[in-house]
Amino acid sequence: MSTPTIVVLKEGTDTSQGRGQIISNINACVAIQETLKATLGPLGSDILIVNNGRTTISNDGATILKLLDVVHPAAKILVDISRSQDAEVGDGTTSVALLAAEFLKESKQFIEEGMPSHVIIKAFRKACDLACEKIRELQVELATDHSDAEMRQLLERCAQTAMSSKIIQNNKELFTKMAVDAVLVLDRDDLDEDLIGIKKVAGGSMDESRLIHGVAFKKAFSYAGFEQQPKKFSNPKILSLNVELELKAEKDNAEVRIDKVADYQEIVDAEWKIILNKLDAIVATGANIVLSKLPIGDLATQYFADRGIFCAGRIPAQDMERVVHAVGGSIQTTVSDIKPEHLGSCERFEEVQIGGERYNIFEGCPIAKTCTIILRGGADQVIAEVERSLHDAIMIVKRALKHNAVVAGGGAIEMELSKHLRNYSRQIAGKQQLIIAAYAKALEVIPRQLCENAGLDGTDLLNNLRAQHSKGEVWYGLDFESETISNNFEKFVWEPALVKMNALQSATEAAVLVLSVDETIKNEPNEPQPQQPMGRGRGIPR
């Protein structure tokens, strides 16, 4: 008697499993690698992405993957690890995706030969642990008792390495100084990069970008009377409000029944009295600058102009918080009982023209734990890429300040780890030997791709690197200036050790995750049923 067929999944569900499924997932990840690999390194190309009519030019791995509409579920894992690398350490977003795909590519031969994926997973995890252990052993701790000038030099070297592959590499002296200055302004215990404001003004050249030790924001929407207000102060008192200073037309907002015209006049007078009392209370505080998250109307604007006070309303919440961080005081939700300690101060306030925009700038702030970078560039796409590049450099400086251990870049650390794992694999027997050797080979994808993007002979240079590393030259990597190999530690091509460890761990976990997926079940979304035209039913009149 035959067993009846039991239908568990709905009709149209796509199921695929087994070895073929794992290979299909590996191929999808390798396709992502093909897209990204040309962007790696100082001589990598940019990719132009057109998304819903918006054009983006970038060589930042996380940005490219975010904008690509990746639909394959396994390939989406590479998108996620690239984003997490960007959020955690800021740089190495392309490297992490290339490494993950290369680990999978190397494991493909074992899957095709019928090796169980859990054996590969176990060996990959072992190899990752060994590699991270070796990085900790090799990393050079930068002494934190250096003088400020020496510490700054160390941070600048890390920032320059992060910028070498970016659009701003030709202006790296300006932007390196900017990135280091911006991070050093922050509170050492917190290092919250959100307190570094980045404003973009189209027009001009990149050289015109500037760092302001304080806060700058675009001039808010202004009413009549604004032009009569002073635009420059020395040592002003600054009042920050979350109060609306606008004369409301209550006829739109309330219903009042009256018998006599005199009663109507009383209502109008009461409205004026309320707002004038608020304005008098603000003037009485002695504030020279009044800022508010909510609108400041034309009556208040003119009132402040007559008394030599500058005001700005509808200021974005993030800018307002950064102002309070810099100048002191606190945001008030009422104008009654404002004490001197509620007011902030700074050395200079000025409204200046930058490109086609006017900016309000607060400088010389007493507790300046914040700063603002104003970026210039010929096109919006260029400025957007400069911002992304600067973000990477800022994150690298931040990590180097928190975790003061560095390794050499330019493929040096990858070659040393590859040599270390190869030597280890020769000391063990069985399948693990083959898989760890394959992991070691996969690490060479970084220097090989760097050579390819620079138009150099990868085979020759990699052979030279292997020879140097076998002699114990730990820090030998690629030198693009002389198109040969050199000691990259002495050349100051430095990267925080944390970046490399995070990239290896994330890439290995992503590869392990893809290899552990044996079956994919894909539910097609239900097709919406076409609506039947409403007919004339019984009892429904025409």
Residues catalogued as catalytic:
60, 93-94, 392
Q: Please tell me whether residue 149 adopts helix, strand or coil conformation.
A: helix
Q: Phi, psi (5° rounding) for residue 478?
A: -80, 135
Torsion of CA 467, 470, 475, 478, to 10 degrees: 20
Strand partners, 216: 361
Full strand arrangement of the beta sheet holding 232-234 = 214-218, 357-363, 348-354, 232-234
Q: Please tell me whether residue 113 adopts helix, strand or coil conformation.
A: coil
**Residues recorded for the chain:** 542
157 and 494 Cβ atoms separated by less than 8 Å: yes
The two tokens of residue 333 are 């939700």
The two tokens of residue 186 are 């922050």
331 and 248 Cβ atoms separated by less than 8 Å: no
The one-letter code for the residue type at 142 is L
**If you ran DSSP here, which 8-state letter would residue 91 be given?**
S
Task: Report the 10 Å Cβ neighbour count for 152.
Answer: 16
Q: Phi, psi (5° rounding) for residue 51?
A: -125, 110
211 and 394 Cβ atoms separated by less than 8 Å: no
Which residues, 6 or more positions from 74, have their beta carbon under 8 angstroms from its beta carbon? 24, 25, 26, 28, 29, 514, 517
Expressed in angstroms, the distance from the first to the final Cα of the chain is: 60
The two tokens of residue 356 are 């086609």
Distance CA(245)–CA(296), nearest Å, equals 5
The two tokens of residue 291 are 């800022």
